[in-house]
């Protein structure tokens, strides 16, 4: 185990403080014993006075004991936070390799490895409605060495889709660690599609009367909910095709096997560069700096004031010591704040999002309420 000189000296300081408290307590006890024991043997008045003093002393010793117990708990935690991490940190991903979250986590993980001098191990565990990774993370020790990367759909939408069978509670079973990034959705169609803009897409959807297809990463997934809202605001009805693996949606769009989908620049990746797929519009009020030639939905003939975006963040099993959570948040936020990472994420159509764990926790609470109302309105449930 690697321990720096500063960490060692800090732990020694903590031990010295603890020893000083102990010496003070024992010395006080011995003085009181030496002074008051003879008086207790001297008579009624002295005995009564000594009894009162003894009660005061007992109360004092209780305070000392409580203080020492608190120090015994606090100081090792502080020391462990200073030396964290002293082994590999594992990050569980409910997403397949090659997706946006996977790409970003690997980039951030490389930088964290340099800072921590410990490896960051990425474990892709997709499938099972995202339950596989979430259950594994929930059962992991609450020590900061196991994290889980989620998008808002996993922690804000799934609880409403599976209210009876979901194996985790996002607020009770997990602690917010750090925001990672936000991303606006792009409307992707085949690269050789005759569709030139959103107005063409809506005309195609109305002409085909419910037969025009769009893909998503599953019923109730963020991709599905955004598309369902798009249908609602445009007065169209289309055929939803759910997929198990997000990258396969883009592949099938490139082949013309599915009409369109909401996706991110990171997920479209290589197929977008190869012009196998193209973006008709971005779901934000302004154009994206990495894709200046892609119009907004409003500019492309669709409704105005639409803002379709997703967010991705890191959580940990509930109960991680606060100093460790603070260190994780500080180091991750520092990486996300570097110009290098900001530029890399912008090139992928993503926006770096360094922020506090408290802010992330509040966002989760707000989104749980918002998407609960949305799923009830759309009558989407999988239980």
- pLDDT tens-digit profile of 39-65? 455 554 445 445 545 554 555 555 555
194 has pLDDT over 50: yes
Long-range contacts: 53-58, Cβ < 8 Å, 24+?
57/29, 57/32
Cβ–Cβ < 8 Å for 249, 258: yes
DSSP type of residue 281 = E
Q: Do domains 89-175+318-348+355-378 and 186-307 have the same CATH topology?
A: yes
Rounded CA gap, 144 and 332, in Å? Answer: 13
Strands 213-216 and 239-242: parallel
Query: What's the confidence (pLDDT) of residue 51?
Result: 54
Q: How many helices (H) and strands (E) does the chain have?
A: 13, 11
Contact residues for 130 (Cβ-Cβ < 8 A; gap 6+): 94, 150, 154, 158
Neighbours of 359 (CB within 10 A): 12
Q: Is the pLDDT of residue 180 over 80?
A: yes
Whole-model pTM: value is 0.71
Question: Looking at residue 159, what is its pLDDT?
Answer: 95
- List the chain domain ranges: 5-83, 89-175+318-348+355-378, 186-307
Q: What is the pLDDT of residue 220?
A: 83
How far is 348 from 334, CA to CA, in rounded Å?
20
Token pair belonging to 161 = 């889709």
User: What topology is assigned to 186-307 in CATH?
Assistant: D-Maltodextrin-Binding Protein; domain 2 (3.40.190)
pLDDT of 126 reads 92
Mean pLDDT confidence for 137-166? 96
| CB burial of residue 344 (10 Å; 0-12, 13-18, 19+) | middle
204: left (phi over 0), alpha (psi -120 to 50) or beta: alpha
Angstrom distance (rounded) from CA 238 to CA 242: 13
Please give the span between the terminal C-alpha atoms of the chain, in angstroms, as a whole number.
Answer: 47
Per the prediction, the chain carries an average pLDDT of 84
Average pLDDT over residues 131-147: 98
How far apart CA 274 and CA 328 sit, in angstroms, is 38
Asked whether the predicted pLDDT for residue 11 surpasses 60, the reply is no
Q: State mean pLDDT over 57-78.
A: 52
What's the confidence (pLDDT) of residue 221? 85
89-175+318-348+355-378 placed in CATH 2.30.130.10: no
Peptide bond into 85 cis (omega under 30): yes
Task: Write phi, then psi, for 142 (nearest 5 degrees).
Answer: -85, 70
30's CB contacts (< 8 A; 6+ apart) are none
């Amino acid at each position: 185990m690697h321990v720096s000189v500063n960490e060692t000296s800090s732990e020694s300081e903590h031990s010295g403080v603890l020893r000083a408290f102990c010496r003070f307590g024992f010395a006080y006890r011995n003085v009181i014993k030496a002074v008051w024991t003879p008086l207790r043997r001297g008579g009624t008045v002295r005995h009564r006075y000594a009894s009162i003093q003894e009660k005061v002393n007992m109360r004092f010793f209780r305070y000392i004991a409580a203080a020492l117990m608190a120090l015994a708990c606090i100081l090792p935690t502080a020391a462990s936070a200073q030396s964290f991490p002293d082994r590999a940190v594992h990050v569980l991903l409910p997403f397949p390799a090659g997706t946006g979250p996977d790409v970003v986590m690997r980039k951030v993980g490389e930088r964290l490895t340099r800072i921590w001098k410990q490896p960051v191990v990425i474990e892709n565990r997709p499938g099972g409605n995202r339950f596989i990774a979430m259950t594994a993370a929930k059962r992991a020790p609450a020590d900061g060495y196991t994290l889980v990367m989620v998008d808002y759909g996993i922690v804000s939408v799934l609880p409403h889709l599976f209210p009876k069978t979901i194996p985790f509670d996002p607020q009770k079973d997990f602690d917010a660690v750090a925001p990672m990034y936000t991303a606006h959705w792009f409307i992707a169609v085949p690269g050789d599609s005759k569709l030139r803009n959103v107005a063409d897409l809506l005309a195609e959807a109305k002409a085909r009367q419910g037969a025009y297809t769009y893909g998503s990463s599953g019923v109730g997934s963020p991709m599905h909910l955004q598309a369902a809202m798009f249908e609602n605001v445009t007065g169209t009805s289309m055929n939803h095709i759910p997929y198990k693996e997000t990258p396969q949606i883009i592949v099938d769009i490139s082949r013309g096997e599915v009409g369109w989908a909401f996706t991110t620049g990171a997920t479209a990746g290589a197929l977008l560069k190869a012009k196998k797929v193209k973006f008709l519009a971005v779901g934000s009020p302004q154009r994206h700096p990495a894709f200046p030639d892609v119009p907004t939905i409003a500019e492309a003939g669709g409704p105005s004031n639409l803002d379709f975006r997703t967010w991705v963040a890191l959580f940990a099993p509930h109960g991680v010591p606060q100093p460790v959570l603070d260190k994780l948040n500080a180091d991750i936020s520092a990486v996300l704040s570097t110009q290098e990472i900001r530029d890399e994420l912008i090139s992928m159509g993503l926006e770096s999002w360094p922020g506090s764990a408290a802010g992330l926790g509040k966002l989760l609470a707000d989104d749980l309420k918002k998407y609960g109302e949305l799923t009830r309105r759309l009558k989407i449930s999988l239980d």
